[in-house]
Structure 1
Amino acid sequence: MTMPPKQQIGSFSAPLSLDFDGGRVSARRLELLAAIGQANSINGAAKTVGMTYKGAWEAVEAMNNLAGVPLVVARQGGRGGGRAELTEVGQRLVDEMGRIAALQTQFFAALDEDGTLGNSFQLLKRIEVKTSARNAFMGIVESVQKSVVNAEVTLRLASGEALYAIVTGESVRSLDLVPGKVVYALIKASWIVLTPADEKIKTSARNRLCGVVSHIEEGSINTEVLLDLGKGITLAAIITNESHKMLELAVGSRACALIKASHIIVGID
């Protein structure tokens, strides 16, 4: 999947956010992006915008995933932080944010002067939908195989991996799912099953995404594992601490994520 032409990175909307074909980057995450450009550190940028270190890392992963190309290249360095740099595309977005900020100020001033427009704008903000799914990926519909009740939709991610989703026939119609359409796939981290990359097992899971373990965070009950799928795309999985020990996963090792096609939610803007 290639990056759109320079003038079509995304479209800004107020309050300042960035709309990609696969989802929206919030004003708070754009603020984090600018802070990373200043601090060259995830930890330092997180403190600047008032985020936790973990929250900032998750925001960076989400932005890279939604953009389809890396906006930030970072190397983890523990709780003390690590070095992080904006890519050329990331820096370009930050520069454009500065130019747009002045226009945004003028826009809100106009809303304040017109009470009717201001009230309508607040109503539009309330109906924006958010999701608790840990993984959100942009993809392009490659094929749709219909049956009597359901359909299998094949998506192609920016990493080049294919993702298969089972949706109802009604969803195919209402979402207008046709080859070439840009959509996004939502996957809860707890729905993902991890296996070592060299594990030769047969499974009914339709999807098998393999990558390199880039981060592991163990909690009191569960462990979060991040897989680097390549091209700036990461996948987060939540497994039990017991499973983590049994699988002997470590940063740098290869692992595969098994995902049932019925556990993938397909959405559009």
Structure 2
Amino acid sequence: MSIDGDLSASLVLRRGGLARVGLERIALIEAIGGLGSISAAAKQLGLSYKGAWDGVQALNNLFDAPLVVANAGGKAGGAAIVTPRGLAVIRAFREVEREIGAALSRLEAGLAAPEPDIGQGLGDLFWSLGLRTSARNALRGTVAAIADGEVTARVSIDLGEGLAIASIITRRSREELGLAVGKPAVALIKSSFVVLGDDDPSEGETNRLAGTVVDREDGGEVSEVTLALSAGKTLVATVAASEATLVVGARATATIAPSNVILAVE
């Protein structure tokens, strides 16, 4: 329904509280129809025979008439046919899938148009709502530079207003993520990887981000400190509760090793 990076959706049909019908089971019916055998369809789709058989039974139970009729044969490959009802279900599913795909294409085109007051499309903002991660910090930006080594790659992410952060990942990871200059990416950083100290935003291989402490929540042994950076970004660090200098209003510099910055794409 989509190419990589396009808006996409998953179509799933459900009747009452019964099992759902998704693309995988529709593909199973199509394979049985083309090969005339549940065992052959299972092999083609990388399923166990039992998994395919259970899928067929679930489909037959879901509808008021069988979608697949199988003769005896089991794993040896008994004949199976897709009934007219099964063929109709395939056609209906694919037709709905095509209509949803067309609707998503229209929606994506509308969301991509830049909004004059923010300079970006609503689609970028919409997908920002969908990212969930256990990392306390998720900083969105744009890939500004990539320096490939033999095994690793150093990727610089522009966070806006002169703020940047570097990440060192493997070249294979960089390729699998499809990272390229100008493409959006999210830097994920665990709060325990952020070291806070005196304001010293000097250059170097390590990320140093200067800011102001805007919040502090103390626990028994550790405290959570929030640092306000430029570009409207914030960074959270966990520090020893005994660290008394990091009070609200204090200037501090966050130091983060590039190897501790994980990159993600949507």
TM-score, length of structure 2 as denominator length? 0.52
Structure 1 residue matching 2:158: 3-state secondary structure: strand
CA pair 199-141 structure 1, distance change in 2 beyond 3 A: closer
CA contact 1:136–1:185 (8 Å) conserved in 2: yes
CA pair 166-238 structure 1, distance change in 2 beyond 3 A: same
Q: Could you list the per-position Cα deviations for residues 240-259 of structure 1 after superposition, in whole angstroms to 9, with x for gaps in the alignment?
A: 112x12xx122111000000
Unmatched runs of 5 consecutive residues or more in structure 1 = 13-17, 27-128
CA pair 181-196 structure 1, distance change in 2 beyond 3 A: same
Q: Which residue of 2 aligns with 1:220?
A: 220
Residues 130-141 of structure 1 aligned to structure 2 (within 5 Å): 130-141=132-143
CA contact 2:218–2:224 (8 Å) conserved in 1: yes
Q: Could you list the per-position Cα deviations for residues 138-197 of structure 1 after superposition, in whole angstroms to 9, with x for gaps in the alignment?
A: 111111100110000011103421111001010111111111111111001111111011
**Number of equivalent positions:** 151
Q: Which residue of 1 aligns with 2:247?
A: 250
Q: Which residue of 1 aligns with 2:183?
A: 181
CA contact 1:19–1:25 (8 Å) conserved in 2: yes
CA contact 1:141–1:182 (8 Å) conserved in 2: yes
CA contact 1:214–1:226 (8 Å) conserved in 2: yes
Give me the whole-angstrom Cα distance separating, in 2, the residues matched to 1:155 and 1:215. Answer: 25
Structure with higher Rg: it is 2
CA contact 2:200–2:210 (8 Å) conserved in 1: no
Structure 2 residue matching 1:183: 3-state secondary structure: strand
Give me the whole-angstrom Cα distance separating, in 1, the residues matched to 2:152 and 2:201. Answer: 31
Q: Which residue of 2 aligns with 1:162?
A: 164
Q: Which residue of 1 aligns with 2:208?
A: 208
Q: Could you list the per-position Cα deviations for residues 198-217 of structure 1 after superposition, in whole angstroms to 9, with x for gaps in the alignment?
A: 599x9x86100000111111
Give me the whole-angstrom Cα distance separating, in 2, the residues matched to 1:266 and 1:140. Answer: 11
Structure 2 residue matching 1:174: 3-state secondary structure: helix
Residues 51-62 of structure 1 aligned to structure 2 (within 5 Å): none
Check if 1:268 corresponds to 2:265.
yes
Shift of 1:232: 1.7
Provide the alpha-carbon RMSD of the alignment: 2.4
CA pair 131-256 structure 1, distance change in 2 beyond 3 A: same
Shift of 1:25: 1.8
Structure 1 residue matching 2:145: 3-state secondary structure: strand
Residues 144-155 of structure 1 aligned to structure 2 (within 5 Å): 144-155=146-157
Unmatched runs of 5 consecutive residues or more in structure 2 = 1-113
Give the % identical residues: 37
CA pair 175-222 structure 1, distance change in 2 beyond 3 A: same
CA pair 174-199 structure 1, distance change in 2 beyond 3 A: closer
Q: Could you list the per-position Cα deviations for residues 93-136 of structure 1 after superposition, in whole angstroms to 9, with x for gaps in the alignment?
A: xxxxxxxxxxxxxxxxxxxxxxxxxxxxxxxxxxxx73100100
Q: Which residue of 1 aligns with 2:126?
A: 19
Give me the whole-angstrom Cα distance separating, in 2, the residues matched to 1:236 and 1:215. Answer: 9
Q: Which residue of 2 aligns with 1:72?
A: none
Shift of 1:220: 1.1
CA pair 137-198 structure 1, distance change in 2 beyond 3 A: closer
Give me the whole-angstrom Cα distance separating, in 2, the residues matched to 1:134 and 1:253. Answer: 21
Give me the whole-angstrom Cα distance separating, in 1, the residues matched to 2:159 and 2:201. Answer: 24
Structure 1 residue matching 2:188: 3-state secondary structure: strand
